[in-house]
Amino acid sequence: MTEWREKWQQALTDLERERDELKLKIHLAKAEGRDELERLDQKFSELRFRSQAAGVEAKGAMEDVGGAAKNLIAEIRAGLDRVRKTF
């Protein structure tokens, strides 16, 4: 009977440890996602600024800005995917 209780107690202890580890991982993932989102917000602001600037520039300059904007859009999308995967 004592052996059964020890096994039961060990199982409960193991489950509690695993639960606590998962809680910590979720907490850290949320923080990591939040940091990534803040970084992406800055990039998005940069993209918005560039698009407004392109509206007043000559067509040749708009093509340069357009290429950089495409790269920035791709980077923002990739970052959003990384944030999505943290949850």
Alpha carbon distance 38, 18 (integer Å): 30
Instruction: Quick: pLDDT tens for 68-85.
Output: 777 878 888 888 888 777
Computed from CA positions of residues 74, 77, 83, 84, in that sequence, does the dihedral angle turn out positive or negative? Answer: negative
Residues 7-36 have a mean pLDDT of 86
Please state whether the predicted TM-score (pTM) of the whole model is above 0.75. no
Please give the DSSP secondary-structure letter assigned to residue 57.
S
pLDDT of residue 64: 63
Instruction: Quick: pLDDT tens for 34-64.
Output: 888 888 888 888 888 877 776 655 555 556 6
Alpha carbon distance 19, 67 (integer Å): 47
Q: Within 10 Å of residue 51's Cβ, how many Cβ atoms?
A: 14
Computed from CA positions of residues 46, 47, 53, 54, in that sequence, does the dihedral angle turn out positive or negative? Answer: positive
pLDDT of residue 4: 81
pLDDT of residue 63: 61
Residue 51 token pair: 């698009």
